[in-house]
Chains A and B, each alone.
Chain A
Amino acid sequence: MRFLAKTLLVTTGLACLGMVPAARAQQLLFDYVGFDYEDPVLVPGTFGGIGNGYVGLGEVPVLASPLVSDQSTYEYTYVLTGLTATSRIVGGSFVVISYTGPGTLTVYEDSRSTGTPFDYGSNPPNPTAPSSFNDGTAILVGAITDFRYVLNTATGSGSYDATFEVVGGTQYGNIPADERNGWTFAGATGNTSSIPPGYAHQVDGQTLLRLPTPVHVGSWGELKRKYR
């Protein structure tokens, strides 16, 4: 009986020590706005055709702590690349496209006074895109996996999400080692006339980091007292 009680206590204790999945707080890392296109295009005329490459680029109007930014002095841009469509599932008017990578989502910092202002141009890739987006200093490099796009061809809009892990950049060290994993998501639309010619969608997204679950160091005695 005493053995059984001890076993139960140990089992309960282990569960309390973090075996039970806990909600983890999310922290906004950066917010981005831009456009996407496909390159290379193996299946012309079909967004997400198998083998088509995905590229997203644009500006980063919000960078949150622990990243350090100065929007008045520097222009911040992003480039999302390295993704290839490998699966395209159609259900009614919805299309779900899965991509393999690993992709990279990189944030660049470029001087507003001496750098090159970003310019989408037309029909990317072109002389200014992505070159005016990936110039400057790569302050943050993230690895992108599990990238999946959901589009509704009837409404002309959709969304994507992916797993994000900070792997490099000059501000890599600003992010604590146990806070480098997170995710990114965005809404995408083809319904605004501000999309430059040759781009597929306008994109508005953000990247969030998962903060570690707080832990409390305690003794076995303290744990046993809780369950008596």
Chain B
Amino acid sequence: MRLWVRFSATALLALAATVPAHAGPIIDWDPAYFYAAGATPYNSPFGTQLYIVGTVSAFGPPLGFLNANDPTKDYTFYLYGLGSLGTSTTPIPTLGNAYLTTYDSGLIELYEGTPRDAAFDPNPPNANVPSTFTNGTLLLSGTITNFYTQTNDFSTYMTGNAEGSITWTGGSLFPIVSPGGHPCPSLFTGGLTWEPSALIEGYLFRHDGKIDLDCPTPARTGTWGRIKAIYR
């Protein structure tokens, strides 16, 4: 019985130490566009390089002091270095196929630029893409790992999703996403579509997504005596 109580208490403490309070996304965008020469929504051959450019539409805490609607600035991001590890196909009975493409690790950069000049010109790379998304001050930079896209050939509006894990490593706002010098894990996530009428010529996907900052709740080591004292 005593052992069971001790086990339960340990489990509860472990949970309390790792589950953060709910927080909204730190960065929300609409839109971002993906491009990758040689790829289709259903297949990205091994080695194909994926690039993503996007404009931020809203910031949340701890970046809530930034105003994405400031007419004198644009907030943009750029992902690169994502090499395809290939696409796997999964048959879905009676419907068609689902496709999962995984990628090697890449890099992400967030910029604040003046003037508001980001332009999703067709057929990237070109004179404005990615250059108008990488000008200005580098606010955040990091590596992105475990990145993947999921698509299929049966959804009515040609929709899927993309996701990857971010580790922040630099930029002028790095301390804000790294309390105590420890970068918080972040998640790049959201839905994508390749519906032709929603795309710009030369791009692979339109993406509606965000980044969450998953800072763990601070934990403190203690003795059983101290814990027992709390509950007495």
**A contact residues vs B (CB 8 Å cutoff):** 23-26, 28, 31, 33, 59, 61-62, 89-94, 96, 120, 146, 148, 150, 152, 155, 157-163, 183, 185-189, 191-197, 202, 204-206, 208, 210
Residue of A nearest to B209 (CB): A204
Q: Which residues of B contact A210 (CB under 8 A)?
A: 197
**Is B155 an interface residue, CB under 8 A from the partner?**
yes
- In Å, the complex CA distance between A116 and B32 comes to 33
B197 with A33: CB separation less than 8 A = no
Among the interface residues A96, A155, A183, A194, which one has the most CB atoms of the partner chain B within 10 A?
Answer: A194
**Dominant SS at the A interface?**
strand
**Dominant SS at the B interface?**
strand
Of A31, A157, A191, which one neighbours B150 at CB under 8 angstroms?
A: A157
- In Å, the complex CA distance between A24 and B62 comes to 39
A31 with B57: CB separation less than 8 A = yes
Given A33-B25, A159-B159, A191-B163: A185 and B191 within 8 A (CB)? yes
B143 to chain A, nearest CB (A): 17
- In Å, the complex CA distance between A89 and B91 comes to 11
Q: Which residues of A contact B189 (CB under 8 A)?
A: 157, 187, 189, 191-192, 202, 204
A206 with B92: CB separation less than 8 A = no
B197 with A204: CB separation less than 8 A = no
B208 to chain A, nearest CB (A): 5
Q: Which residues of B contact A185 (CB under 8 A)?
A: 157, 159, 191, 193, 208
- In Å, the complex CA distance between A93 and B162 comes to 16
- In Å, the complex CA distance between A25 and B148 comes to 28
How many residue pairs, one in A and one in B, have C-beta atoms under 8 Å apart? 146
- In Å, the complex CA distance between A64 and B159 comes to 21
A105 to chain B, nearest CB (A): 14
Given A89-B94, A148-B155: A204 and B150 within 8 A (CB)? no
A183 with B157: CB separation less than 8 A = yes
A96 with B92: CB separation less than 8 A = yes
**B contact residues vs A (CB 8 Å cutoff):** 18-20, 22-25, 28, 30-31, 57-58, 90-95, 98, 100, 148, 150, 152, 154-157, 159-163, 187, 189-193, 195-198, 208-210, 212, 214, 216
Q: Which residues of A contact B190 (CB under 8 A)?
A: 187, 204
B197 with A25: CB separation less than 8 A = yes
Of B18, B93, B98, B187, which one neighbours A152 at CB under 8 angstroms?
A: B98
Q: Which residues of A contact B57 (CB under 8 A)?
A: 31, 61-62
Q: Which residues of B contact A62 (CB under 8 A)?
A: 28, 30, 57-58
- In Å, the complex CA distance between A91 and B31 comes to 31
B191 with A194: CB separation less than 8 A = no
Of B58, B162, B196, which one neighbours A187 at CB under 8 angstroms?
A: B162
B90 with A150: CB separation less than 8 A = no
**Other A-B pairs, 14, CB within 8 Å; known A24-B197, A28-B30:** A23-B196, A26-B195, A33-B28, A89-B95, A91-B93, A158-B161, A162-B156, A187-B162, A191-B163, A192-B214, A193-B20, A193-B214, A204-B191, A210-B197
7 closest Cβ contacts across the A-B interface?
A187-B191, A91-B92, A187-B161, A92-B90, A187-B190, A185-B159, A161-B159
A189 with B93: CB separation less than 8 A = no
B156 with A189: CB separation less than 8 A = no
B161 with A61: CB separation less than 8 A = no
Q: Which residues of B contact A96 (CB under 8 A)?
A: 92, 95, 154
A/B interface sample: 8 pairs, CB < 8 A: A23-B196, A89-B92, A150-B155, A189-B187, A202-B212, A204-B191, A205-B191, A205-B208
- In Å, the complex CA distance between A94 and B152 comes to 10
- In Å, the complex CA distance between A227 and B114 comes to 51
